[in-house]
């Protein structure tokens, strides 16, 4: 596991953009695993800026998002499809049909999960998976539980996640209670994993996930089992973990 510490949020976004840009240059038809939430917004802005400057071409890139709320169609302003369109896809030259997100309104969510896993396989797997981390250690919507789910699955959101995500909705009661998410096993299959963490509020869970026991009660701890994980943290988020893991000089 490599820890890269930047002074602030803008710094981790630029470093994440460097890593994504290097992958797209190495393999213009790469498969990127993407996340939503507050943390990746600055990374997406950096990628858009580089595209506008002519430094990036997304025409052959394919993307798979981690998760989608159940019950929200793609044109719902709080759906993750809508988020991705507004924060990245509408601003770069990625073909719409190269962007995959589970359907939140599939009649049969279990079947939708199998379809999604098969699609990822048929595209050759994910080259770089981007992750944020929840305050309870969730990655995607793999919430604390007594086991690590392997593939994509239907999940019930933890109460703390519903509360945290209610900031995007008019009220807590509007936050969907269920989502489709890639499983911990799907995430571990990615060739490289990039976890971004920003702010003091993430310091404790980041440290516990990366240096504590591997347990499904702290889902991000499973990343300790992957051979190529890069943690990109700003000074505030890295304040505890850097006492235990030496940051890389990059």
Residue span binding ligand F6R (CB under 6 A) among the ranges 37-45, 49-57, 210-218, 231-239: 37-45
Nearer Cβ to ligand F6R (55/174): 174
Shortest Cβ distance from residue 125 to ligand F6R (Å)?
Answer: 19
Nearer Cβ to ligand F6R (139/190): 139
Whether 67 is catalytic? yes
Shortest Cβ distance from residue 249 to ligand F6R (Å)?
Answer: 26
Identify the sign of the CA torsion 243, 134, 112, 215. positive
Nearer Cβ to ligand F6R (132/176): 132
Shortest Cβ distance from residue 132 to ligand F6R (Å)?
Answer: 3
Q: How far is CA 18 from the centre of its chain?
A: 17
Q: Which residue do the tokens 């869970």 mark? A: 205
Whether 121 is catalytic? no
Q: Which of 210, 235, 30, 209 is nearest to 127 (CA)?
A: 30
Q: Which of 171, 79, 184 is nearest to 129 (CA)?
A: 184
Distances (CA, A) of 80 to 8, 94, 104, 118: 26, 17, 9, 20
Q: Give the footprint of ligand F6R on residues 209-248 (CB under 6 A).
A: none
Binding mask 121-160 for ligand F6R (x = CB under 6 A): -----------xxx---xxxx-------------------
Whether 112 is catalytic? no
Q: Which residue's CB atom is positioned nearest to ligand F6R?
A: 132
C-alpha to C-alpha distance for 62 and 219, rounded to whole angstroms: 26
Does residue 161 contact residue 138 with C-beta atoms inside 8 Å? yes
Nearer Cβ to ligand F6R (36/221): 36
C-alpha to C-alpha distance for 113 and 182, rounded to whole angstroms: 8
Selected binder of ligand F6R within 13, 33, 67, 100 (CB under 6 A): 67
Query: Encoding tokens for residue 146?
Result: 């007594």
Whether 235 is catalytic? no
Q: How far is CA 56 from the centre of its chain?
A: 21
Q: Which of 162, 167, 146 is nearest to 218 (CA)?
A: 146
> Exposure string (b/e) for 218-246, b if CB count within 10 Å is 16 or more?
bbbbbbeebeebbbbbbbbbbbbbbeebe
Catalytic residue selected from 14, 57, 135, 136: 136
Determine if 42 is a binding residue for ligand F6R (CB under 6 A).
no
C-alpha to C-alpha distance for 149 and 179, rounded to whole angstroms: 14
Nearer Cβ to ligand F6R (58/134): 134
Give the catalytic positions in this structure: 67, 136, 138, 143
- Footprint on this chain of ligand F6R (rule: CB under 6 A): 35-39, 66-67, 132-134, 138-141
């Amino acid at each position: 596991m490599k820890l890269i510490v930047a002074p602030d949020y803008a710094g981790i976004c630029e470093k994440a953009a460097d890593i994504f840009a290097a992958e797209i240059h190495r393999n213009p038809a790469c498969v990127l695993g993407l996340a939503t939430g507050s943390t990746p917004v600055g990374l997406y802005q950096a990628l858009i800026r580089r595209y506008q400057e002519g430094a990036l071409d997304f025409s052959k890139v394919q993307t798979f998002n981690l998760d989608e709320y159940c019950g929200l169609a793609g044109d719902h302003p709080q759906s993750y499809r809508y988020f991705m369109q507004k924060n990245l896809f509408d601003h770069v030259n990625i073909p719409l049909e190269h962007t995959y997100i589970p359907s939140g309104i599939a009649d049969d969510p279990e079947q939708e999960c199998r379809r999604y896993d098969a699609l990822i396989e048929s595209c050759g797997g994910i080259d770089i998976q981007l992750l944020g981390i929840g305050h309870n250690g969730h990655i995607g919507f793999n919430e604390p539980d007594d086991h690590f789910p392997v593939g994509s699955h239907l999940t019930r959101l933890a109460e703390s996640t519903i509360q945290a995500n209610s900031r995007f909705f008019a009220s807590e009661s509007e936050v969907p209670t269920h989502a489709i998410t890639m499983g911990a096993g799907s995430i571990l299959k990615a060739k490289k994993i990039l976890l971004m963490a920003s702010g003091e509020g993430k310091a404790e869970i980041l440290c516990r996930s990366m240096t504590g026991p591997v347990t499904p009660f702290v889902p991000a701890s499973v990343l300790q089992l992957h051979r190529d994980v890069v943690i990109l943290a700003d000074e505030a988020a890295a304040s505890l973990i850097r006492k235990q893991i030496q940051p890389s000089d990059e």
